Copies of this chain bind each other. A is one copy, B any other.
Amino acid sequence: MSDNLKPVPAVVIKRLPRYYRYLGELIKQGVPRISSAALSQKMGVTASQIRQDFNYFGGFGQQGYGYNVEHLYTAIGEILGLNNGYSMIIIGAGNMGRALATHGTFEKRGFRLVGIFDNNPELVGKEINGITICHTDELETFLDSEKPKIGILTVPKAAAQSLADILVKHGVAGILNFSYSELKTPAGVSVENVHLSDSLMTLSYKIKEN
């Protein structure tokens, strides 16, 4: 058990949510502990990789015993920052924005949706999941007063970059980008892209192979 010194590769971070999911399942099933070997079999990865991954963050296990499932689950949640209650807003109340606003998993993971914005007057004033849609004109004022941490962009490509600029200017820490474009942001602001058509294209390639 030692504090982490080595930088954690991005590829390891990307695996953490998957571990988190499997550990959540185990808790539901009332499994109190698990060895890297048993988990490796469940998840289809090597036990070695599991132990290496966890040890980037210090030792969570105990020799001869394995890992305490609940402890490990909590620890990974902590590493991912799920207990920080990060607040987020959705910009773009189209189908995708609405799908995300009503997507229960986000709340379950400790994120709080605090605002929804759209520039369509027909949508402004309507309520989704208990939140009233505001006009994008009010965005900057809102950002300054409420200081949400995360902005979710579900707007057309053409609008994405200028909205991202506004988010950045008013102190958002991260952007979840659903628009078919890549955003330019300064070093301090993280972007995570969800390009649905990319996933479909990758699937398309795989189909061809079979």
Contacts and interface: CB of A to CB of B under 8 A. Distances in A.
Interface string A95-106: 110111011011
In the complex this chain forms, how many copies of it are found?
Answer: 2
Interface in A96-129: 96, 98-100, 102-103, 105-106, 109, 111
A138 interface: no
Contacts of A20: 201
A154 B198 CA distance: 17
Interface string A172-193: 0111100010000000111110
Nearest to A111: B200
Contacts of A206: 13, 174, 190, 192
B98 A196 contact: no
A86 B13 contact: no
Interface stretch (A60-68, A77-85, A161-169): A77-85
Contacts of A51: none
Given A21-B180, A95-B98, A82 B204 contact: yes
Given A95-B99, A188-B210, A204 B86 contact: yes
Contact of A202 (B14, B94, B203): B14
For A82, A94, A201, the residue with the greatest tally of chain B CB atoms inside 10 Å of its CB is A201
B82 A17 contact: no
Contact of A192 (B21, B191, B200): B200
B197 A105 contact: yes
B94 A99 contact: yes
Contact of A109 (B109, B200, B209, B210): B200
Given A95-B95, A180-B105, A207-B81, A192 B202 contact: yes
A96 B209 CA distance: 28
A95 B195 CA distance: 18
Contacts of A96: 99, 103
A17 B173 contact: no
